[in-house]
Amino acid sequence: MVRQKIPEAEARRLLGGAPVLLVTTRWQAASNVFAVAWAMPVSTNPPLLAIAVHPSRHSHDMISFGESFAINIPARVLLNHTQWVGMVSGMQMEKLDVARLPHFRAKEVEAPLIEGCVGWIECTVSDTFTTGDHTLFVGKIVAAHVDTEAWDAERKVWSLTDEEYQPLHYLGGQSYAMLDSVFDSEVEARSADQMEEEGFGKELEEAEAERRRKREEAEQSRAESEQRGEEEVSPAKAPRERPEG
């Protein structure tokens, strides 16, 4: 493994791959939608989540004054819509109408909910914090819904059985991804003595040793190739044979 230093400002990209959100708002008879990549649950009881929004965004003021918002988790069918609503401002247009996004009424908030999504969360603003150059809106979850085709109700996770009903994940820039499969860890809670007795972590050590061995072999092979290249005479520099005849 080779570690490469990256700028501190790019470290956020290492956290990419979470579901992208279409956040809808409504205030003074106007609705808006914008894309959010920075979101997280922050409390179980009461159920709270948070989204980070730059103050320059039109929806920042709509959330502040409207004191509510809705989260829509898009499927792949909304890929281009998601990218577009994240690039343009709702200050000059009704993005929902321009993008022809079908939507329906929410249960508890004024913000509309968008069709073509696999999950919907309705929130009222519980608290607001300034975090660097963004505002963190903490929303109290007042209603939540999920498409039954996308959700494994027994395990309480995305089912991922049908690509059409998988949540769209955002990597950064114009790059997106989708989860491939669901698998479970088989480890159970046990004492440190039991873990040592069972050799817990041994597989990781063996895997790292194998990666190190392969890296050393590749470096040795590259060095040998470079050495052979220096010893061999370049065809361009080799003496030409006198043509016959």
**Residues 101-120: pLDDT tens digits?**
899 999 999 999 999 999 99
Consecutive H or E run containing 48: strand 48-53
CATH code assigned at 99? 2.30.110.10
In a domain, 236, yes or no: no
Dihedral, CA of residue 209, residue 210, residue 215 and residue 220, to nearest 10: 100
In our burial notation (b when 16+ CB lie closer than 10 A, e otherwise), range 102-126 reads ebeebeebbbbbbebbbbbbbbebb
The whole-number average pLDDT for the span 203-228 is: 85
In a domain, 2, yes or no: no
Q: What is the mean pLDDT of the chain?
A: 87
Over 60: is that where the pLDDT of 237 sits?
no
In a domain, 225, yes or no: no
Compare 233 and 80 and report the one with higher pLDDT.
Answer: 80
One domain, residues 42 and 161: yes
User: For position 243, what pLDDT does the model report?
Assistant: 44
In a domain, 239, yes or no: no
One domain, residues 208 and 139: no
One domain, residues 70 and 150: yes
In a domain, 183, yes or no: no
Of 24-38, 68-82, 208-222, minimum mean pLDDT range: 208-222
User: For position 244, what pLDDT does the model report?
Assistant: 45
Which of the 8 DSSP states describes residue 108? S
One domain, residues 66 and 27: yes
**Residues 180-209: pLDDT tens digits?**
888 888 777 778 778 777 777 777 788 888
**What number of other Cβ atoms are within 10 A of residue 221's Cβ?**
10
One domain, residues 162 and 57: yes
One domain, residues 93 and 211: no
One domain, residues 63 and 162: yes
- Supply the pTM of this predicted model: 0.78
User: For position 245, what pLDDT does the model report?
Assistant: 40
Q: Are residues 29 and 42 in contact, defined by beta-carbon separation less than 8 angstroms?
A: no
Total domain count for the chain? 2
Domain boundaries, position 41: 15-177
User: Pick from 124, 142, 177: which residue ends a domain?
Assistant: 177
Which two tokens mark 28? 């003074």
CA–CA dist 63, 69 (Å, integer): 6
One domain, residues 77 and 197: no
Which residue intervals of 13-135 are DSSP H helices?
Answer: 58-66, 79-85, 95-98
